[in-house]
Amino acid sequence: MQTGLLNNNSGASGSSAAQPPAGNGNDVSDMFTKLLVAQIKNQDPLSPTDPSQFVNQLAQLSQTESLQNLAGLTSASTSVLQSMQVLALGGQVGSSVTVSTNSINLGTDSVSGAITLASASSKTTLVLTGSDGKKHNVELGTQAPGSVPFTVNPAALGLPAGNYTMEVQTDSGEKPAIDVAGKLNGVRLSSSGSVVLNVSNIGDIDPAAVTGFNGRPDAAQASH
């Protein structure tokens, strides 16, 4: 379980990203004030600047400072939300999940998944393409609309271990999404601050790719 790494990462982000850079607003304000004073001192006494222009400039300064403060608050809020997301997902480590993906990482164990058809298909094929470009077909046969489960058995198909891309071919030309089942192995923050999940049979994914949390297999077995 990788959530132990999150204490250091979230702590670091909380001390840095959660606080806007100090002094930026003051620097801009001081610079603007100096320019405004210089403009007033150097204006032509016979043709003074319209006071309304100074008011407009002060309003622009206020807007700039407000935007800078808002940007700082947004950055801090994003950091907090990411940390909360990591902690919440960390509690799901060890659970079975389904992930929407077009790639799979095969070893020796069978991998299960499902596709969802919008219309009937008399010939449905799951096509796996290896890194060598060779295609391997898993025939799913005639299928009615709805969820269609499948299993990829590397030994039965003669598939060596490695990464494979996947697509579904139907006689209607429909290209349904593919959901693959796997175990959530870990949750971490990337160097860019985004949340990354590691799922068996798939690898690192974005949390948005998860389509379902199915509980812990051990807990489900213990209940029977």
Residue 207 lies in a domain: no
Residue 136 lies in a domain: yes
Q: Which of 32, 66, 90 represents a domain boundary (last residue)? A: 90
Q: Tell me, what's the pLDDT at 216? A: 80
- Tell me the pLDDT of the chain (224 aa) as tens digits: 444 443 444 444 444 444 444 445 566 567 666 766 776 677 666 666 666 666 676 677 667 667 766 666 666 666 666 566 655 666 778 889 999 999 999 999 999 999 999 999 999 999 999 999 999 999 999 999 999 999 999 999 999 999 999 999 999 899 999 999 999 998 888 888 788 899 999 999 998 899 988 888 765 444 44
Instruction: List the domain range (segments joined by +) for residue 16.
Output: 5-90
Q: Tell me, what's the pLDDT at 14? A: 43
Residue 210 lies in a domain: no
Question: Do 109 and 85 fall into the same domain?
Answer: no
Q: Tell me, what's the pLDDT at 154? A: 94
Q: How many CB atoms lie within 10 A of CB 41?
A: 7
Q: Tell me, what's the pLDDT at 3? A: 47
Question: Do 66 and 22 fall into the same domain?
Answer: yes
Residue 126 lies in a domain: yes
Residue 217 lies in a domain: no
Question: Do 49 and 69 fall into the same domain?
Answer: yes
Question: Do 124 and 172 fall into the same domain?
Answer: yes
Pairing of strands 203-205, 195-199: antiparallel
Residue 206 lies in a domain: no
Q: Which of 28, 55, 90 represents a domain boundary (last residue)? A: 90
Q: Tell me, what's the pLDDT at 48? A: 62
Question: Do 82 and 120 fall into the same domain?
Answer: no
Question: Do 128 and 84 fall into the same domain?
Answer: no
- 213, β-bridge pairs: 97
Residue 214 lies in a domain: no
* Rounded distance between C-alpha atoms, residue 24 and residue 97, angstroms: 45
Residue 43 lies in a domain: yes
**Number of structural domains the chain divides into:** 2
Question: Do 84 and 112 fall into the same domain?
Answer: no
The pTM (predicted TM-score) of the whole model is 0.60
Q: Tell me, what's the pLDDT at 207? A: 87
Q: Tell me, what's the pLDDT at 108? A: 93
Question: Do 104 and 162 fall into the same domain?
Answer: yes
